[in-house]
Amino acid sequence: MNAISVKNINKSYKNHQALKDIYFEVPKGEIFGLIGPDGSGKTTLFRILTTLLLANSGEAYVDGFNVVKDYKKIRNVVGYMPGRFSLYQDLTVEENLKFFATVFNTTIEENYHLIKDIYNQIEPFKKRRAGALSGGMKQKLALSCALIHKPNVLFLDEPTTGVDPISRKEFWQMLLKLKAQGITIMVSTPYMDEAAMCDKIALMIDGKILELDTPANIVKNFNKTLVAVRSDHMHELLLDLRANPHVESSFAFGDSMHFTLKDDNTNIDEIKNYLIEKEHSNIDINIIEPGIEDRFMSLTIK
């Protein structure tokens, strides 16, 4: 039995279809990532799975329970961290934790081992009001509150958005530890580097899943040659690349441009010479391994 099972879920709002035929399974103990921009339907999907919204059609099961008929049972066994920080700003760290423990008919002591690593980092601030914590700390507290009752499945909707990179890395270390304890985790994120830490990811845009696979396979599915190039004049570089007949699509990627060729057999030296002619200096051009983001982009710009 899979921890999460979603079959042909559709959801529409007044003038807009938020989810189109969503279909996937998540085995127990896996970290499943939803990757996509705002408006792709991630939050809607979370809300359907946590029984907060009803889908227009399709079925879904969490921990074996039907999200419509058995919603009360699901609400006993899942942990949920919605998009915004869902803490009581005027209660202290300690008070928040105690409150959520009680709401879930348990005590902090009972499952302390589960949150120990996370809580250790915020314990020095336990008497501070949640509203006065930093973004990274709030997020750790919210995670603790979502875990305190030892859920079987954890739903985290964009838990790392807006948080600095260091805290983000720490957060993901915690998630990996939780996975080791057997908790299934479904998490959404706009950060591609976090996607790589999931067991499986689904690339979502406009309510549809474009591709669902392991990070490694997704990268493998990018079956075109990817070339990275940089020069001293990046803006002109982009324009020149786009003007080149051999180039299929090109995008800025940090300190270099990534582009694909219409014909994978084209020799990149040709491109290099073209650029030299265009008076670029310090040209650095190589074929590189694609990343998840390259794959995502190739899927969206069909």
Partner 1 sequence: MKVIEVENLVKKFGDFIAVDNISFEVEKGEIFGFLGANGAGKTTAMRMLCGLSKPTSGHGKVAGFDIKSESEKVKANIGYMSQKFSLYHDLKVWENIKLFAGIYGMKKDEIAKQTDELLERLNFESERNTLVSELPLGWKQKLAFSVSIFHNPKIVFLDEPTGGVDPVTRRQFWEMIYEAAYNGITVFVTTHYMDEAEYCNRVSIMVDGRIEALDSPLNLREQYKAKNMDDVFHQIARSAKRSDN
Partner 2 sequence: MKQFRSFLQKELYHIFRDVRTIMILLVMPVIQMILFGYAISTEVKNAKIAVYDPSKDIATRRIIEQMDNSKSFDVVEYIVNPNEIEKLFLEGKVKMVMVFGENFNENLLHGNKTQLQLITDATDANFATSISNYASGIIANYQMELMQQNKIPITIQPEIRLLYNPQMKGAYNFVPGVLGLILMLICAMMTSMAIVREKELGTMEVLLVSPMKPLLIIIAKAVPYFLLSCINLATVLFLSYFVLNVPIAGSLFWLIVVSMLFIFLSLSLGLLVSTLVDTQIAAMLISGMVFMMPVMLLSGMMFPIENMPVFLQIISHIIPARWYISAVKDLMIKGLGFSAVVEEISVMLLMIGVILSISLIKFKVRLD
* β pairing state of 31-35 and 65-66: unpaired
Give the per-residue SS3 of 10-67: EEEECCEEEEEEEEEEECCCCEEEEECCCCCCHHHHHHHHCCCCCCCEEEEEECCEEC
The footprint of partner 2 on residues 103-132 (CB under 8 A) is: 103-105
The footprint of partner 1 on residues 155-194 (CB under 8 A) is: 161-167, 169, 190-193
Q: Given candidates 40, 51, 111, 244, which one binds partner 2 under the rule CB under 8 A?
A: 51
| Closest CB to partner 2 among residues 4, 226 | 4
| Closest CB to partner 2 among residues 17, 86 | 86
Stretch that binds partner 2, among 21-29, 99-107, 162-170, 182-190 (CB under 8 A): 99-107
What is the sign of the dihedral through the CA atoms of 68, 73, 76 and 79? negative
Residue 107, C-beta contacts closer than 8 angstroms, at least 6 positions apart:
101
Contacts with partner 2 by CB under 8 A: the residue count is 27
Q: Given candidates 40, 50, 111, 250, which one binds partner 2 under the rule CB under 8 A?
A: 50
| Closest CB to partner 1 among residues 105, 282 | 282
- CA–CA gap between residue 57 and residue 61 (Å, rounded): 13
Q: Given candidates 12, 17, 66, 76, which one binds partner 2 under the rule CB under 8 A?
A: 76
Q: Given candidates 53, 91, 283, 297, which one binds partner 1 under the rule CB under 8 A?
A: 297
Q: Least distance to partner 1 from the beta carbon of 242, Å?
A: 10
CA distances for 272 relative to 54, 244, 290, angstroms: 55, 11, 20
Sheet holding 208-213, edge to edge: 78-81, 153-157, 184-189, 31-35, 200-205, 208-213
110 binds partner 1 (CB under 8 A): no
- CA–CA gap between residue 95 and residue 100 (Å, rounded): 9
Q: Least distance to partner 2 from the beta carbon of 272, Å?
A: 51
Could you tell me how far CA 20 lies from the centroid of its own chain?
19
Sheet holding 247-253, edge to edge: 247-253, 256-261, 226-230, 284-288
Site string for partner 1, 228-267 (x = CB under 8 A): ------xxx-x------------xxxxxx-----------
Residue 251 binding: pick among partner 2, partner 1, none (C-beta 5-8 Å cut-off by kind): partner 1
Find out whether 298 and 218 touch, Cβ atoms under 8 Å. no
Which positions lie near partner 2, rule CB under 8 A? 47, 50-54, 71-72, 75-76, 78, 80-89, 100, 103-105, 145-146
